[in-house]
């Protein structure tokens, strides 16, 4: 029995019919003026940011509503900083832009593969330097040593489409999978930047198979496809001696949404069981560890989440940064399954993300400060893997385009590069070539006011600043719980929001306005006298938490 197209069309009509939709149009809307981003979530964040900024100046002030007098800059600290936080536009991509950009790379550098979507089109690579200092010159480096603006024949790949590109080895080489005619399927081509030319890498099998490419530091892995019939082991390529190694079969069932990530001497395989694609149960994330030295697999406990992709934080953790839970997805105990999760490679244990940002309902979530990460984003909440909390960051739109286009944001060594995507406003896609680099500034808090309540334009800070923010937030909580703030009518609501924003491992000192220590913030405020008997227990708790 099959489901006929006509039956599906009729069922769709019935869904619409039974929804009894209100199709009476309201008035023609005014043209959109606001930039992308949730004003409501920004407003919620303001309360924290405004107090933090003011606490930094030695005062304790509660954010107040203002009359609805339209946008009006309230304060920018330090004065003169641009509104986009740490974003700075640099030279355009030195290659064709792409509506489907790809990127991968080792820590502290960001390799971006672009190229048009048509077969036999120019494809090249460029690299962004990743020093921690602000860029004083355009960071794009033509890998063949030149500085021109357009690709030359020496760096055009031989008719490939860069659908799966990966830099690997040292010095880095870029490899692209051949996906289109002419020529046999399944070919790999490697670009050695120092040589400036492409060479073919023979594969350990013949014919086209569903593999995808992953860079594992000094080697390359062809990860077995998930939805093709038959056994397909994973193959690894060592550029040093030009040999392929076939890995033993992994212990997981056949997977979709596969991912392979290297951490130290191990490669971590993630994915979800194909069997769950068609079943009632939500597909949870499965994992296994491959010891590259011993050549052996070790299965890990399944993640209690439906995470899609994990990124290395650079400290041994792998993070899927989406807060919230999947609608309708329950674990065996009937509890909702979260979208995000953290895997500690040191302990091989899963843990939950920090509490969701105050006011967060949904939207783009990425990482900042990660060793390696990339995700499409127009802006939104980002998990700060260094500070341990959440930040609202708006990705700059391309000049001349509307806000809201999702660019590829690539993290590398604490900096990020935003580029790529296509502008569809003209009816046909226009690949975007502009490039933006985000650098963590020292202190950068911009606060705006409008629409009757406050809205924050951007808050970005370094890890040191994050620690100060946490202390300031703890002080505010203490002020609410044990100080004059407890009489504020909004104290309960503020306290709830601040607790959500606070990720605390260490007891935080609470200082008064004159810098005197008056107590500590644990999961509540305690005075100095109250803390002393709790010290041993608190330190033991911290040790347990740090041990996973």
Q: What stretches of 202-312 adopt beta strand conformation (E)?
A: 212-216, 219-223, 235-238, 243-246, 255-263, 266-273, 286-291, 296-299, 311-312
Rounded to whole angstroms, the Cα distance separating 44 from 302 reads 35
Say if residues 480 and 495 touch (Cβ distance below 8 Å).
Answer: yes
**Binds other proteins (CB under 8 A): choice among 60, 346, 429, 503:** 429
Which one of 4-12, 44-52, 287-295, 490-498 is the stretch in contact with other proteins (CB under 8 A)? Answer: 4-12
- Is there binding between residue 374 and other proteins (CB under 8 A)? no
Contacts with other proteins in 353-372 (CB under 8 A)?
361-364
Size of the site for other proteins (CB under 8 A): 53
- Is there binding between residue 424 and other proteins (CB under 8 A)? yes
Say if residues 95 and 125 touch (Cβ distance below 8 Å).
Answer: yes
- Is there binding between residue 28 and other proteins (CB under 8 A)? yes
Q: Which two tokens stand for residue 80?
A: 């003169």
Residues 6 or more apart whose CB falls under 8 angstroms from that of 224 comprise 210, 211, 232, 233, 234
Minimum CB distance to other proteins smaller for 17 or for 241: 17
What is the smallest separation between the CB atom of 405 and other proteins, expressed in angstroms?
A: 9
Minimum CB distance to other proteins smaller for 294 or for 330: 330
Rounded to whole angstroms, the Cα distance separating 330 from 306 reads 10
- Is there binding between residue 79 and other proteins (CB under 8 A)? no
- Is there binding between residue 511 and other proteins (CB under 8 A)? no
Rounded to whole angstroms, the Cα distance separating 289 from 291 reads 6
Binding mask 179-218 for other proteins (x = CB under 8 A): ----------------------------------------
Which one of 26-34, 58-66, 68-76, 148-156 is the stretch in contact with other proteins (CB under 8 A)? Answer: 26-34
- Is there binding between residue 14 and other proteins (CB under 8 A)? yes
**CA torsion angle 153 157 158 160 (round to 10):** -140
Which one of 2-10, 130-138, 232-240, 471-479 is the stretch in contact with other proteins (CB under 8 A)? Answer: 2-10
Closest Cα to residue 127, out of 104, 158, 96, 150?
Answer: 104
Q: Which 8-state DSSP code applies to residue 399? A: T
What is 291-343 written as a DSSP string? ETTTTEEEEPPPPSS-----EE-SSSEEEE---SEEEEEE-TTSPEEES-EEE
| Strand (E) or helix (H) holding 281 | none
- Is there binding between residue 242 and other proteins (CB under 8 A)? no
- Is there binding between residue 3 and other proteins (CB under 8 A)? yes
The percent of the chain in helix, strand and coil, each rounded to the nearest 5, is 15, 35, 50
Rounded to whole angstroms, the Cα distance separating 203 from 205 reads 5
- Is there binding between residue 7 and other proteins (CB under 8 A)? yes
Minimum CB distance to other proteins smaller for 365 or for 373: 365
- Is there binding between residue 291 and other proteins (CB under 8 A)? no
Residue 120 CB burial class (10 angstroms; 0-12, 13-18, ≥19): middle
- Is there binding between residue 229 and other proteins (CB under 8 A)? no
Contacts with other proteins in 386-405 (CB under 8 A)?
402, 404
Residue 79 CB burial class (10 angstroms; 0-12, 13-18, ≥19): exposed
What is the smallest separation between the CB atom of 378 and other proteins, expressed in angstroms?
A: 9
What is the smallest separation between the CB atom of 295 and other proteins, expressed in angstroms?
A: 32
**Binds other proteins (CB under 8 A): choice among 19, 57, 79, 229:** 19
What is the smallest separation between the CB atom of 400 and other proteins, expressed in angstroms?
A: 10
**Binds other proteins (CB under 8 A): choice among 47, 49, 54, 100:** 100
Minimum CB distance to other proteins smaller for 18 or for 516: 18
What is 42-61 written as a DSSP string? HHHHHHHHHHHHHHHTT---
- Is there binding between residue 33 and other proteins (CB under 8 A)? yes
- Is there binding between residue 57 and other proteins (CB under 8 A)? no
What is the smallest separation between the CB atom of 14 and other proteins, expressed in angstroms?
A: 5
What is the smallest separation between the CB atom of 9 and other proteins, expressed in angstroms?
A: 5
Residues 6 or more apart whose CB falls under 8 angstroms from that of 440 comprise 86, 368, 369, 414, 415, 460, 461, 462
Say if residues 462 and 470 touch (Cβ distance below 8 Å).
Answer: no
Rounded to whole angstroms, the Cα distance separating 177 from 160 reads 7
Minimum CB distance to other proteins smaller for 120 or for 504: 120
Q: Which residues of the shown chain bind other proteins in the complex (CB under 8 A)?
A: 1-3, 5, 7-9, 11-12, 14-16, 18-23, 25-26, 28-33, 100, 117, 163, 227, 277-278, 322, 324-328, 330, 336, 339, 361-364, 402, 404, 406, 424-427, 429
């Amino acid at each position: 029995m099959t489901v006929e197209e006509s039956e599906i069309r009729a069922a769709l009509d019935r869904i619409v019919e039974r929804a009894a939709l209100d199709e009476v149009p309201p008035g023609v809307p005014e043209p959109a003026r606001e930039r992308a981003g949730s004003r409501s979530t920004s407003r919620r964040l303001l309360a924290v940011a405004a107090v933090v900024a003011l606490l930094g100046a030695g005062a304790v002030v509660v954010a107040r509503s203002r009359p609805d007098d339209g946008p009006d800059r309230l304060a920018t600290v330090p004065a003169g900083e641009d509104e986009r936080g740490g974003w700075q536009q640099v030279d355009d991509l030195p290659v064709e832009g792409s509506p489907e950009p790809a990127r991968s790379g080792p820590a502290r550098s960001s390799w971006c593969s672009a190229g048009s979507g048509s077969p036999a089109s120019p494809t090249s690579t460029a690299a962004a330097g990743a020093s921690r200092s602000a860029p004083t010159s355009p960071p794009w480096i033509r890998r063949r040593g030149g500085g021109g603006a357009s690709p030359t024949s020496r760096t055009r790949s031989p008719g490939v489409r860069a659908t799966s590109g990966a830099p690997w080895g040292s010095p880095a080489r870029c490899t692209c999978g051949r996906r289109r005619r002419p020529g046999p399927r399944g070919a790999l081509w490697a670009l050695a930047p120092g040589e400036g030319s492409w060479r073919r890498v023979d594969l350990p099998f013949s014919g086209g198979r569903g593999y995808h490419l992953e860079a594992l530091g000094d080697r390359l892995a062809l990860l077995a496809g998930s939805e093709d019939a038959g056994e397909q082991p994973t193959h690894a390529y060592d550029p040093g001696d030009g040999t392929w190694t076939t890995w033993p079969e992994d212990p997981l069932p056949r997977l979709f949404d596969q991912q392979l990530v290297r951490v130290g001497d191990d490669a971590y395989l993630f994915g979800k069981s194909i069997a769950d694609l068609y079943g009632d149960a939500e597909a949870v994330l499965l994992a296994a560890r491959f010891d590259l030295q011993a050549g052996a697999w070790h299965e890990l406990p399944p993640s209690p989440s439906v995470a899609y992709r994990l990124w290395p934080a650079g400290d041994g953790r792998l993070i899927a940064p989406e807060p919230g839970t999947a609608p309708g997805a329950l674990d065996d105990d009937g509890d909702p399954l979260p979208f995000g999760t953290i895997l500690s490679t040191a302990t091989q244990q899963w843990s939950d993300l920090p509490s969701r940002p105050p006011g967060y309902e949904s939207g783009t979530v990425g990482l900042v400060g990660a060793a390696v990460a990339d995700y499409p984003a127009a802006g939104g909440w980002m998990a700060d893997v260094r500070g341990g909390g959440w930040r609202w960051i708006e990705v700059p739109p391309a000049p001349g385009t509307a806000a809201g286009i999702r660019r590829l944001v690539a993290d590398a060594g604490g900096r990020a590069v935003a580029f790529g995507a296509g502008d569809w406003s003209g009816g046909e896609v226009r690949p975007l070539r502009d490039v933006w680099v985000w650098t963590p500034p020292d202190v950068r808090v911009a606060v705006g006011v409008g629409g009757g309540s406050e809205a924050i334009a951007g808050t970005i800070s370094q890890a040191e600043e994050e620690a100060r923010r946490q202390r300031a937030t703890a002080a505010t909580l203490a002020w609410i719980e044990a100080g004059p703030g407890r009489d504020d009518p909004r104290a309960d609501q503020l306290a709830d929001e601040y607790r959500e924003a606070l990720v605390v491992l260490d007891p935080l000192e609470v200082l008064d306005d004159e810098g005197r220590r008056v107590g500590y913030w644990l999961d509540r405020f305690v005075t100095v006298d109250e803390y002393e008997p709790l010290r041993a227990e608190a330190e033991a708790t911290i040790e347990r938490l740090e041990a996973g």
